[in-house]
């Protein structure tokens, strides 16, 4: 174990062994900041060595889903059942050693599913193929967690990802940080801070080397939120959870496991017997929040047969990328009929956020052809 790993383990242990209360909350806040800084350092070193780039996965389709779970829970069996992609399944751990993609169709969208090597606690420290898996997980649009009756500790799995900077079903904290060369550190907030009272923000910032500048809190943030904002390399990914091998469970076992996993909603599947797969695919499709955009050539009816598929929150700019031709360059404006339009035929620019079932005409600059 390198000395960096030793330091990380030491701080982790100290956090675990310190009882949280009023008297210790400052100390714990600083320890967490220290841990985050050490983990950033570990990531930087791994990148320098080329670690984390062990798998080159070409993303394709409208969205990419990563299958994340302990070894032998049935990830590869599921990939094959859903997509037909051949991914070896066997009754021993770490059968899958690289990343195997498969493709699934859902309501006009194509969804890429990545089967990955099993993840175990300690992955971020390099156990199993942990680091490589974590680096790929950071790039997916949705995580599909899988556990089974013999590996029910979903929270340990989630914590492993959290430790690697992956935030599940969250959003970035509303904290604005500006660095400066001198003048000290100012901390202000637009709301009352109940978790960072007593000047805890500054010592945390100092752990990150932030001595001059400004921190503005726009919500009642926690020390963890501040650490995330300072670390700056967090990714925010939605996730759903399935308990596989449900064929091995009684109804009452399922009920009590579902209770332990709250507030996460769980699906129960049997990849082997192909039970619950339709519900799972629907859950994946809904979680990816696809929207359908109907293109309307100028003066003609909209094409409702083949919508352009985008994700919720995407704008005209992302639509242009999906369209054939050089529309991105010749774009002048878009006209919108449908849910996102304030009135039918509203003229908007690239930044306009589209909605499901919008009808769009792209207006191009003179001399170019429209779409
Ligand atoms: N009873 C039951 N067994 C299953 C089910 N799905 C998979 N299995 C079995 O579980 C074992 C492991 O399945 P895999 O698909 O290789 O599991 P994995 O998660 O890909 O494992 P790693 O690649 O090692 O991480 C195999 O023997 C499968 O046949 C299921 O729904 N029910
Ligand atoms: Mg596998």
56, 137 Cβ separation under 8 angstroms: no
**Confidence check: pLDDT of 52 > 50:** no
Any idea which fold 63-169+235-285 has?
Rossmann fold (3.40.50)
Q: Report residue 251 as tokens.
A: 């109804």
**Confidence check: pLDDT of 24 > 80:** yes
Distance from the first to the final alpha carbon of the chain: 60
**Confidence check: pLDDT of 66 > 90:** yes
**Farthest CA pair distance, the chain:** 71
Closest CA to 241 of 226, 223, 262: 262
* Ligand 1 site, residue 96, Cβ cutoff 6 A: yes
Spatial separation of the C-alpha atoms in residues 281 and 81, rounded to whole Å: 11
- In this predicted structure, what is the pLDDT of residue 115? 93
Tell me the pLDDT tens digit for each residue of 212-267.
999 999 999 999 999 999 998 899 999 999 999 999 999 999 999 999 999 888 99
Tell me the pLDDT tens digit for each residue of 301-328.
999 988 999 999 999 999 999 898 878 8
More confident call, 198 vs 293 = 293
Please state the pTM of the whole predicted model. Answer: 0.86
**Confidence check: pLDDT of 64 > 70:** yes
Select, from the ranges 10-24, 181-195, 346-360, the one with the highest average predicted confidence (pLDDT): 346-360
Spatial separation of the C-alpha atoms in residues 329 and 350, rounded to whole Å: 12
78, 147 Cβ separation under 8 angstroms: no
- In this predicted structure, what is the pLDDT of residue 11? 93
165, 138 Cβ separation under 8 angstroms: yes
Residue with tokens 């929207």: 291
Tell me the pLDDT tens digit for each residue of 181-215.
999 999 999 999 998 877 889 999 999 999 999 99
Q: For all residues of the chain together, what is the average pLDDT?
A: 90
Query: Tell me, what DSSP letter sits at residue 248?
Result: G
Q: Report residue 305 as tokens.
A: 């047969």
* Ligand 1 site, residue 272, Cβ cutoff 6 A: yes
Which ligand gives the minimal distance to the CA of 248?
1
Q: How far is the CA of 270 from the centre of ligand 1 (A)?
A: 10
Which ligand gives the minimal distance to the CA of 71?
1
Q: Residues with Cβ < 8 Å from 189, sequence gap 6 or more?
A: 216, 217, 218
Q: How far is the CA of 148 from the centre of ligand 1 (A)?
A: 9
Residue range 336-347: mean pLDDT, rounded: 96
Could you give the percent of the chain with pLDDT greater than 70?
95
- In this predicted structure, what is the pLDDT of residue 131? 81
The best mutation among 157, 272, 280 to test binding of ligand 1, ranked by most ligand atoms within 8 Å of the C-beta, falls on 272
Can you list the positions of beta strands (E) in 95-204?
100-106, 109-115, 142-147, 166-168, 175-179, 185-189
Residue range 331-350: mean pLDDT, rounded: 96
* Ligand 1 site, residue 10, Cβ cutoff 6 A: no
Ligand 1 atom nearest residue 67's Cα = 19
Ramachandran bin of 224, using left for φ above 0, alpha for ψ from -120 to 50, beta for the remaining angles: alpha
* Ligand 1 site, residue 151, Cβ cutoff 6 A: no
- Using CB atoms within 10 Å of the CB of residue 300, give its burial: 0 to 12 exposed, 13 to 18 middle, 19+ buried: exposed
**Confidence check: pLDDT of 163 > 90:** no
214, 185 Cβ separation under 8 angstroms: yes
For the chain, where do the domains classified as CATH 3.40.50.300 start and end? 63-169+235-285
Which ligand gives the minimal distance to the CA of 69?
1
Spatial separation of the C-alpha atoms in residues 294 and 304, rounded to whole Å: 6
* Ligand 1 site, residue 152, Cβ cutoff 6 A: no
- Using CB atoms within 10 Å of the CB of residue 20, give its burial: 0 to 12 exposed, 13 to 18 middle, 19+ buried: exposed
Q: How far, in whole angstroms, is CA 102 from its chain's centroid?
A: 19
Tell me the pLDDT tens digit for each residue of 92-113.
888 888 889 999 999 889 999 9
Q: Using 50, 70 and 90 to split pLDDT, how confident is the model at 2?
A: low
- In this predicted structure, what is the pLDDT of residue 53? 43
Does a cis peptide bond (omega within 30 degrees of 0) precede residue 263?
Answer: yes
Q: How far is the CA of 255 from the centre of ligand 1 (A)?
A: 22
The best mutation among 66, 76, 77 to test binding of ligand 1, ranked by most ligand atoms within 8 Å of the C-beta, falls on 77
290-364 falls under which CATH superfamily?
Beta-grasp domain (3.10.20.30)
Q: How far is the CA of 87 from the centre of ligand 2 (A)?
A: 7
For the chain, where do the domains classified as CATH 3.10.20.30 start and end? 290-364
Q: Residues with Cβ < 8 Å from 64, sequence gap 6 or more?
A: 111, 112, 113, 114, 139, 140, 141, 142
227, 201 Cβ separation under 8 angstroms: no
* Ligand 1 site, residue 251, Cβ cutoff 6 A: no
* Ligand 1 site, residue 277, Cβ cutoff 6 A: no
* Ligand 1 site, residue 330, Cβ cutoff 6 A: no
């Amino acid at each position: 174990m390198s000395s960096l790993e030793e330091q990380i383990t030491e701080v982790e242990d100290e956090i675990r062994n310190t009882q949280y209360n009023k008297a210790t909350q400052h100390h714990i806040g600083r320890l967490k900041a220290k841990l985050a800084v050490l983990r950033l350092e570990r990531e930087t070193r791994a990148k320098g060595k080329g670690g984390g780039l062990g798998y080159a996965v070409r993303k394709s389709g409208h969205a990419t889903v990563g299958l994340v779970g302990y070894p032998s829970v049935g990830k590869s069996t599921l990939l094959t059942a859903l997509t037909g992609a051949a991914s070896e399944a066997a009754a021993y751990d770490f059968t899958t050693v690289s990343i195997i993609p498969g493709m699934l169709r859902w309501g006009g969208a194509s969804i890429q599913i990545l089967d990955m090597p099993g993840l175990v606690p300690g992955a971020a420290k390099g156990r199993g193929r942990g680091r490589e898996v974590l680096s790929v997980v950071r790039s997916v649009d949705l995580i599909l967690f899988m556990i089974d009756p013999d590996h029910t500790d979903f929270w340990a799995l989630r914590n492993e990802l959290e430790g690697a900077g992956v935030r599940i079903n969250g959003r970035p904290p509303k904290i604005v940080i500006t660095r400066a060369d001198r003048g000290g550190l100012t901390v202000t907030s637009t709301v009352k801070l109940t978790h960072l009272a007593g000047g805890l923000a500054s010592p945390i910032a100092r752990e990150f080397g932030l001595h001059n500048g400004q921190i503005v809190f726009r919500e009642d943030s926690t020390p963890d939120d501040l650490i995330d904002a300072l670390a700056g390399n967090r990714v925010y990914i939605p996730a759903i959870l399935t308990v596989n091998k449900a064929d091995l469970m009684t109804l009452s076992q399922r009920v009590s496991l579902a209770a332990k996993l709250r507030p996460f909603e769980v699906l129960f599947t049997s990849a082997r017997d192909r039970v619950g797969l339709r519900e799972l695919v629907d859950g994946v499709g809904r979680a990816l929040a696809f929207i359908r955009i109907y293109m309307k050539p100028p003066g003609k009816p909209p094409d409702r047969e083949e919508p352009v598929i985008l994700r919720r929150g995407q704008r005209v700019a992302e639509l242009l990328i999906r369209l054939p031709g050089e529309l991105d360059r010749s774009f002048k404006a878009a006209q919108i009929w449908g849910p996102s339009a304030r009135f039918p035929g509203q003229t908007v620019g690239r930044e306009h956020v589209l909605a499901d079932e919008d009808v769009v005409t792209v207006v191009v600059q003179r001399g170019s052809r429209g779409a």
